[in-house]
Amino acid sequence: METKITFLGTGSATPTAKRNHTGIYLQSGKENILIDCGEGIQRQFRKAKLNPGKLTRILITHWHGDHTLGIVGLLETLAMAEYSKTLKIYGPKGTKEKIKLFETIYGNFKINLEVYEVSGKFIDEKEFFIESSKMVHGIPSNAYSFVIKDKVRLNKAKIKKLKIPNSPLLGKLQNGKDITYLGKKIKSKDISYVQKGKKISVILDTLMNENAVKIAKDSEVVICEASFLSDEKEKIKEYKHLTAKQAATIAKKSKSKKLYLVHISQRHEKNEKEILADAKQVFKDTTIPNDLDKIKF
Ligand SMILES: [Zn+2]
Ligand SMILES: [Zn+2]
């Protein structure tokens, strides 16, 4: 299952010409998931040549404006475009109340909406699951992991050699069951292999905490906020954010493979190299993506 991430918005509290408010779009199999929905997200979809009509779920990390001000406009556009699926919105405690409040102001959104307040593992499908973990940001906040499960695959060359026809027998072998074919016993484990799953973790606004390391454990990709530099320690206490070095520490401690730093402040836009250097002291494979950058894996 190919997985693609598009960074729709990588900015912080104030959007700039270069960086939009937060939005991360994850496409994997039939799932099209938006993580946070900052102001300006609709135009970012357009620029990235993505169709928001394909959205299946929205995950909200927390209800600060820079992560959620795009929701009303997006839902109204989906209604105008006759979005016919059921859009599922997930977030921390208080999410239902926020959506209701928007409906009080703007009228009911004319699409099928389901809203969930989540903690722990809250989606468990055949091919993937999604879990959340509480962060520390002064208001209810979640980090999320999207986990593609390990999959048993059959070795095509061996199937061909044994001349096993395309039949329910293959399904049995894939499900780990041994079969008998033309009088010969064939063991599932002899002709199958495990394709390892993948994990993507998204950790946005938070103070450093152990839950962040836990939820990121063994990720292929960690997307993490880096609002401050290490020499701005006083500010992280006041605003409850991470430094780039702390983001790198999460990636390192969780034994993850790649780190992408987002939520880049306008104050650092001219010295992004410093952010990168702050993180790279601890974790080498660190990148600061630009808006509309895509990664595939
Ligand atoms: Zn933020
Ligand atoms: Zn915030």
pLDDT tens for the chain, 297 residues: list them: 789 999 999 999 999 999 999 999 999 999 999 999 999 999 999 999 999 999 999 999 999 999 999 999 999 999 999 999 999 999 999 999 999 999 999 999 999 999 999 999 999 999 999 999 999 999 999 999 999 999 989 999 999 998 999 899 999 998 889 999 988 899 999 999 999 999 999 999 999 999 999 999 999 999 999 999 999 988 888 899 999 999 999 999 999 999 999 999 999 999 999 999 999 999 999 999 999 999 998
For residue 166, report the distance from its CA to the centre of ligand 1, in Å: 52
Q: Are strands 23-28 and 286-287 parallel, antiparallel or unpaired?
A: unpaired
Please give the pLDDT value at position 2: 86
Please give the pLDDT value at position 297: 87
The span from the CA of 79 to the CA of 187, in Å, is 52
Please give the pLDDT value at position 209: 98
End-to-end CA distance of the chain: 9
The Cα angle at residue 218 between residues 131 and 290, in degrees rounded to 5: 80
The ligand that comes nearest to the alpha carbon of residue 142 is: 2
Residues 6 or more apart whose CB falls under 8 angstroms from that of 216 comprise 143, 145, 201, 203, 222, 224, 250, 251, 254, 256
For residue 62, report the distance from its CA to the centre of ligand 2, in Å: 7
219 burial class (0-12, 13-18, 19+ CB within 10 angstroms)? Answer: buried
For residue 65, report the distance from its CA to the centre of ligand 2, in Å: 8
Alpha helices in 84-167 (DSSP H): 95-106, 156-161
**Which residues are close to ligand 1, an ion, with C-beta < 5 A?**
66, 205
Please give the pLDDT value at position 1: 74
Please give the pLDDT value at position 20: 98
For residue 170, report the distance from its CA to the centre of ligand 2, in Å: 50
Instruction: Catalogue the active-site residues.
Output: 66
Please give the pLDDT value at position 252: 98
Segment (H or E) for 92 = none
pTM score, two decimals?
A: 0.94
The ligand that comes nearest to the alpha carbon of residue 141 is: 2
Going 142 to 206 to 33 to 108, the CA torsion angle's sign is positive
Provide the CB-side half-sphere exposure for 57 (13 A, CA): 18
